[in-house]
Structure 1
Amino acid sequence: MIIKMSLSYMGDFKKSNENNGFIVSGKIIPKYENNIWSYIEESFPEPYFKQYEDDDVDISYINEQGKSIFLYYDENDCVGKIKLCTYWNGYALIEDIAVAKDWRHKGIGAALLSKATEWAKQNNLVGLMLETQDVNILACRFYAKNNFVIGGVDTMLYSNFSTAHEKAIFWYYKFKYSN
């Protein structure tokens, strides 16, 4: 069950991030040629563990138009979330998407993307966009599998953090509207 977050469900926002992290086993290497992005994967000789800090949420995602959070529940357990807002370029920006570790590979992420698509179309947006890191291979594979394409790479976004040896990858899914 996917519900729009309300004040009464705000406490569940961080539940899908509890104990989340992943093994970094390599990175994607994007290539831009003839106006088309592609990538290959490179494995690391020594994998390492990475965990993101909890994303913050505020009441604006409940009260303001152009912002929304959807929570995925299995029975009474919040096991996934997607945080969205309208972006200046006409896309819906996915600020965060997370599925609890034990619930991954069960279609929850795809269901959340479907809900984001529905929300974006209701808000007359042209598609979805998001950013992830080149070292998050599983996320990159997930977005590619769900028809996202690389739209750009930012080599400086994380450069101020001495422990971050990664590049930002911007992924886009543009809707096909028929006239």
Structure 2
Amino acid sequence: MILKMTEANRADYNKPNEEFPVTGRIFPKYDNGVWTYTEEKLPEPYMKRYADEEIGAAYIEEESKAVFLYYEGEHCLGRIRLRANWNGYAMVEDIGVAGSRRQQGIGSRLMDQAVQWAQQHKLAGLMLETQDVNAAACGFYARYGFIIGGVDNMLYSNFSTADEQAIFWYYKF
């Protein structure tokens, strides 16, 4: 079941935020107006986890923002955070699924909910950003129908520990 976040379930937002394996890196290539990519497996995979976030009331109160939470019974197993972006797309600011439930369709159901929300708000599609080292997420976005719209090799350059490029993905309606 997917529910829109309210004050009553706001505390569940970080529950599906778990570490994930980094097993490869994608290498985008732009040629003749088309982005493609190849993937290279890492010789030594590692685990990565994003910090928990304090989710503001704006995602409950403002029409141009939303969070949807995926539940099975009382357990929150997934989340997707959206906002209307200045360019007419819905920005997927975050999507996450509990580690034990990945690759079981929850991410696709959350993305379907994002599509529905964006269409209700008369937006042109979805957009998001992820890192080139998150090959599993990149593969998910590509399978869902997203295409690469650009690469930014400076976005993470201020972080000495980050050897990452930002990949911007688009899903146009």
Question: Which TM-score bucket, shorter chain as reference?
Answer: over 0.9
- TM-score, normalization by structure 1: 0.94
CA deviation string 1:89-114 (max 9, x = no partner) = 00000000000001111110000000
- Alpha-carbon distance in structure 1 between the residues aligned to 2:118 and 2:159: 33
1:165 match: 163
> Which aligned pairs between 1:1-179 and structure 2 lie closer than 5 A?
1-17=1-17, 20-175=18-173
Task: Give the count of matched residue pairs.
Answer: 173
Q: Which runs of 5+ in 2 are unaligned?
A: none
Q: Which runs of 5+ in 1 are unaligned?
A: none
- 1:56 CA drift (Å): 3.0
- Alpha-carbon distance in structure 1 between the residues aligned to 2:28 and 2:21: 20
- Alpha-carbon distance in structure 1 between the residues aligned to 2:51 and 2:36: 29
Contact preservation (8 Å) 1:129, 1:173: yes
RMSD after superposition: 0.8
Contact preservation (8 Å) 1:55, 1:96: no
- Alpha-carbon distance in structure 2 between the residues aligned to 1:154 and 1:57: 26
- 1:171 CA drift (Å): 0.4
Contact preservation (8 Å) 1:68, 1:83: yes
CA deviation string 1:111-158 (max 9, x = no partner) = 000000000000000000000000001000000000000000000000
